[in-house]
């Protein structure tokens, strides 16, 4: 008999954050707070929903620069439980955040 071993958990669902709370502009704002213990985020996905504006995603509680996301771009991270902040090149830029926990 063989045994199959998986190194990561099966994902049952994603939590999606979008809407008025996820509108960003030229001042860095928190788009996802650090995970509370014992929550563990298996994957985090961030999408720039703008057709024209770019955003920077900052994986720290301080600073003004981060990873550049072009219009309609996205980034994903595995096993990241820290704070995520973002800043946009234009006012009222919508960002979508989705994450799955174990």
- Tell me the pLDDT tens digit for each residue of 19-65: 777 899 999 999 999 999 999 999 999 999 999 999 999 999 999 99
15 sits in which H/E element: strand 15-17
Rounded-to-integer distance, Cα 42 and Cα 35, Å: 11
Structural domains for the chain: 24-101 (2.60.120)
pTM: 0.86
Beta-bridged to residue 77, according to DSSP, are 44
CA-based nearest residue to 97, from 41, 28, 26, 37? 41
85 neighbors 27 (Cβ within 8 angstroms) = no
């Amino acid at each position: 008999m063989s045994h199959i071993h998986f190194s990561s958990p099966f994902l049952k669902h994603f939590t999606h954050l979008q809407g008025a709370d996820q509108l960003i502009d030229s001042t860095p704002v928190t788009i996802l707070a650090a995970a509370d213990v014992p929550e563990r985020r298996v994957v985090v996905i961030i999408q720039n929903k703008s057709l024209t504006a770019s955003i920077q995603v900052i994986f720290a509680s301080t600073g003004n620069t981060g990873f550049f996301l072009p219009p309609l771009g996205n980034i994903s991270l595995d096993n990241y439980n820290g704070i995520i902040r973002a800043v946009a090149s234009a006012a009222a830029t919508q960002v979508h955040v989705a994450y799955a926990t174990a």
